[in-house]
Chains A and B, each alone.
Chain A
């Protein structure tokens, strides 16, 4: 299978994601340029973290109009796997591929630290190797991760099991105190109804090797590989 990592002007986790896939997972991966009009037959497209277009206007608001996003949207609508990490999540929200929006962190500070997240849903291409309620230690690094969605849509997210990750304690309790940014309902990551698009604020690529303090991020990437390989056998 092949991963693609999109480079927007201002992406800065593109090489981290590339390395996690290529050197840790030993899978095929290539960079995709934001001006490109093809996803080069990638099976999973990663929108990496960073500050696309300097976060001007709103995070992700300008990147979503990149030519490559037209292809990403088409790909996602056909069921292709799209993983948005941090700024990538913000771009997916702005593009409407995922519901909701990001507000400034409640603390108004840039938060950069390891957090614990609880896997709420395991039937996704990204979490099929996790156990239900498995706690993952994965770092966050953002100023705008305060997830917001209107009440009615929040109810829909819950009803459809689209909340994939919630901030929690090391032992897996989802309490307000472990929420690094004020996100509604401790939401750290959500997927679309079809489950092929996932957005998350924590950075799994930064938790893919022991030397980085955690290897829990590998669960996500390995789940994707497992999902795609299973799909290809059929």
Chain B
């Protein structure tokens, strides 16, 4: 069974990764956008937080492996854990 699992063919997965500033970390871009919106006349906007979105296509054997891979990628490169947090969706 173990052997059958390891030879299982890889298939492409689509993932969307969101990287955001942690709560409490100042977001100069977000606050400038918020100010701009207020100046444009949009009322009632309490907060704007900026972030990044990555669409990634990757090949792996199953969803679990895909998630593990994405977690690694986020930790090592896509997010800086000092200031950022991340989450992702896999399709």
On A, residues with C-beta under 8 Å from B are 57-58, 61-62, 65, 93-94, 99-101, 103-108, 146, 148-150, 182
A2 to B29, CA, bound (A): 42
Q: Quick one: which of B19-35 are within 8 Å of A by CB?
A: 21, 25-29, 32
Tell me which residues across on chain B come within 8 A of A148, comparing CB atoms.
25-26, 82-83
The residue of chain A having its C-beta at the shortest distance from the C-beta of B76 within the complex is A65
The residue of chain B having its C-beta at the shortest distance from the C-beta of A62 within the complex is B77
A93 to B80, CA, bound (A): 10
Tell me which residues across on chain B come within 8 A of A99, comparing CB atoms.
82
B77 x A61 contact (CB < 8 A) = yes
Tell me which residues across on chain B come within 8 A of A106, comparing CB atoms.
26, 28
Q: 25 pairs across A/B with beta carbons < 8 Å?
A: A57-B77, A58-B80, A65-B77, A93-B82, A94-B80, A99-B82, A100-B82, A101-B80, A101-B82, A103-B26, A103-B27, A103-B28, A104-B28, A104-B29, A106-B28, A108-B29, A108-B32, A146-B26, A146-B28, A148-B25, A148-B26, A148-B82, A150-B82, A182-B26, A182-B28
Range of interface residues on B (Cβ < 8 Å): 10 to 19
A22 to B87, CA, bound (A): 48
A105 x B28 contact (CB < 8 A) = yes
Tell me which residues across on chain B come within 8 A of A149, comparing CB atoms.
82
A149 to B24, CA, bound (A): 11
A61 x B80 contact (CB < 8 A) = yes
The residue of chain A having its C-beta at the shortest distance from the C-beta of B50 within the complex is A104
Tell me which residues across on chain B come within 8 A of A108, comparing CB atoms.
28-29, 32
The residue of chain B having its C-beta at the shortest distance from the C-beta of A153 within the complex is B82
Tell me which residues across on chain A come within 8 A of B80, comparing CB atoms.
58, 61, 94, 101
Tell me which residues across on chain A come within 8 A of B28, comparing CB atoms.
103-108, 146, 182
Question: Distance in Å from the Cβ of A157 to the closest Cβ of chain B?
Answer: 13
The residue of chain A having its C-beta at the shortest distance from the C-beta of B26 within the complex is A103
Tell me which residues across on chain A come within 8 A of B32, comparing CB atoms.
108
The residue of chain B having its C-beta at the shortest distance from the C-beta of A100 within the complex is B82
